[in-house]
Structure 1
Amino acid sequence: MNSPRQQEFGSGFLYQFTNRVYWLIILNLWFVIANSPLLFILLVLEPSLSNISLYYLASIPFGPALAALLYSTLKYIQENEESPTRDFIHAYKVNFKDTLKFWVPIVTFLSISIVNLQYLSQQPSTMNEMMSLALLILLFFLFLITIQLFIINAKFSFKTKDLFKLAMYSSFKQLKITTGNAAILFLFWVLLASTSDFLYLFLGSLLAYLLMLNSRKLLRSIENEFCQTNT
């Protein structure tokens, strides 16, 4: 029988905190490894439009890596199971193809939009300015929907078409959660912009943890209304 001192150590704040930090570090390490092509391109090449095809190809593995990160984070939040390596590798393998089905079209559209924005900025006119503004607004909504896509995909399995529909529907129905997730991402972007992009190497899992904590109500709502969970 465990003594009170042993029980206190095993369930105390310091023990739980160090376990959580360990889990975040290990999970973030796998996320960085899975994104090594993109990180290499970011370190080696200048952010130039002439390199956009390389950025496009290097960005494709980011989708499955993010999906695995969010899945592992959600599992830890729900089950408090500390198996970051096993969970990440399992999620990466299982969800790889399904994630690419919606991630590749998004990255393709984003790449084309960047080229178009560059062209419109080089040909200044009232019409081009209006088209640029419309495209930026469209990209903003795509950004919000993409967040929902990854969060929903972390827990549920849908056909790609249904996943897009549900992401758009839930983005507006759960507007408070959508806004909260956007605010979390914006604050992290400000942090990276004001300090160093290298923080990306250390804060990915923390960002995922905050997003999934904020999205618990959204996932419960979807589970009750539409589907069965993967787990």
Structure 2
Amino acid sequence: MSSAAASRQFGEGPLSRAVALIYRLLVVELLFLLTAVPGIVPLVLLDRDPSNLPLAAACALPLGPAISAALYALHRHRGDLADLHPAAEFWRGYRANFRPVLGIWIPWLGWLTVAGLGLAHLDAVGLPGWWAVLLVLAAVWVTLWAANALLITTLFTFRVRDVARLAFYFLVRTRGVTLGNACLLVVATGITALTSEAVLALLGSVLALLLLRTGRPMTNAIQEEFTA
């Protein structure tokens, strides 16, 4: 066997790929926690009371760029032991997408805050009970849109309004992606409700990987149809 062939085989077996992925997940998780900790710590300490929703939204601001950077670093994974630069790729994605991601993240948090306050004070504003169902459905729909928009913003360079349009378009076109993201949303909501936001944060890199893989049909379609 030639030295070139041996070099190609080294680090490309199933075990090596698994080790490389685990290493990347661990590094990305640590960096995710590092960048998100200014929001996670006060978010965990807040009481789960509707009056704290605006504060919770403010605490969640650092999470958007952190999730985007995790998605970027995991997207760059090539699956072999020679590909061990997740920290550099995380910071590259964090710097490049910080402002564009906030352009999506802030409106989403604002909408969830308004919807949450509306649900908490339905009786006070005199709205009928069925409005609660509409608000929940709208919040879920907007959250699924935000998941698409976050992924598009992370992996592509489009104007914010184009990202918004593509995210809505692919909610309907790639229904498998929408259903998969809905399942991730249920899992994330369940983890948070049964434990705490801290436990969800500790699974940040794994959830980012699942979001990335669930959204692959959408990102492949965008790559083929909307980029040169």
TM range (shorter): 0.7 to 0.9
Query: Matches of 1:55 and 1:147 in 2, distance apart?
Result: 19
Question: Is this contact kept in 1: 2:188–2:200, CA < 8 A?
Answer: no
1:98 to 93, 96, 100: 100
Return the letter of the residue paired with 2:182: A
Return the letter of the residue paired with 1:167: A
Shift of 1:25: 0.6
SS in 2 for 1:200: helix
Query: Matches of 1:131 and 1:93 in 2, distance apart?
Result: 40
Gap regions ≥5 residues in structure 2 = none
- Find the counterpart in structure 1 of residue 141 from structure 2: 141
Give the 3 Å change call, closer, same or farther, for CA 88–7 of structure 1 in structure 2: closer
1:109 to 99, 108, 111: 111
Question: Is this contact kept in 2: 1:144–1:182, CA < 8 A?
Answer: yes
Query: Matches of 1:223 and 1:5 in 2, distance apart?
Result: 34
Give the 3 Å change call, closer, same or farther, for CA 61–130 of structure 1 in structure 2: same
Question: Is this contact kept in 2: 1:75–1:81, CA < 8 A?
Answer: no
Query: Matches of 2:159 and 2:6 in 1, distance apart?
Result: 51
Shift of 1:174: 0.6
Shift of 1:15: 2.5
- Find the counterpart in structure 1 of residue 68 from structure 2: 67
Query: Matches of 1:179 and 1:12 in 2, distance apart?
Result: 33
Shift of 1:145: 0.6
| Aligned length in residues | 226
- Find the counterpart in structure 1 of residue 174 from structure 2: 174
Give the 3 Å change call, closer, same or farther, for CA 192–3 of structure 1 in structure 2: farther
Question: Is this contact kept in 2: 1:24–1:206, CA < 8 A?
Answer: yes
SS in 2 for 1:177: helix
Instruction: Give the structure-2-normalised TM-score.
Output: 0.87
Return the letter of the residue paired with 2:185: L
Question: Is this contact kept in 2: 1:28–1:204, CA < 8 A?
Answer: yes
Return the letter of the residue paired with 1:145: W
Query: Matches of 2:153 and 2:79 in 1, distance apart?
Result: 16
- Find the counterpart in structure 1 of residue 165 from structure 2: 165
Give the 3 Å change call, closer, same or farther, for CA 172–190 of structure 1 in structure 2: same
Question: Is this contact kept in 2: 1:145–1:167, CA < 8 A?
Answer: yes
Instruction: Give the structure-1-normalised TM-score.
Output: 0.86
Identical-pair percentage: 27
Gap regions ≥5 residues in structure 1 = none
Return the letter of the residue paired with 2:109: V
Return the letter of the residue paired with 2:24: W
